[in-house]
Amino acid sequence: MSLFTKCILKDKEEIDGVRISVMSRHTLNDGVTPDTRITSSSFDKHLPELAPSPKLIGDYYKRGLLWGEFEFRFREQIKGASTQIILTEIATMSLSENVTLLCIEDEPHFCHRWLLGEECRRLVPEITVEYR
């Protein structure tokens, strides 16, 4: 079994297993207008607590925060005990069934889902993480 990451807009596949949205909200860039491309059938669970904070998102998208600083700040954000418990549960679940973390970014390497996958692997080193 594996932990995958994927854009929430990509087609749902059987290999995805449990699909978990790690987005703060399912809206367009204005943060208000619902993104009609994302429906309740796009994901199985929604864990907005695994999304970057609104301030961090704003600093990155609106105020030009560089990726390295975003990465550092997000890694700090997910060090909290409650987040670590959730990530450990997700990583452990991926040992027995496929789990896919979903976000809006098309490419995983400049998306927080990549960082979540790396943190899951740190917490449970025997898991396999695939970035799609």
Percent share of the chain, pLDDT over 70: 100
Please answer whether residues 77 and 52 qualify as being in contact, where contact means their C-beta atoms are separated by less than 8 angstroms. yes
pLDDT value of position 16:
97
Residue range 49-99, pLDDT digits in tens: 999 999 999 999 889 999 999 999 999 999 999 999 999 999 999 999 999
Report the predicted TM-score, pTM, of the whole model to 2 decimal places.
0.94
Say if residue 109's pLDDT is above 90: no
* pLDDT above 90 as % of the chain: 88
Contacts of 36 (CB under 8 A, 6+ apart): none
DSSP structural state of residue 19 = E
Torsions phi, psi of 87, nearest 5? -65, -35
Identify the pLDDT of residue 107.
86
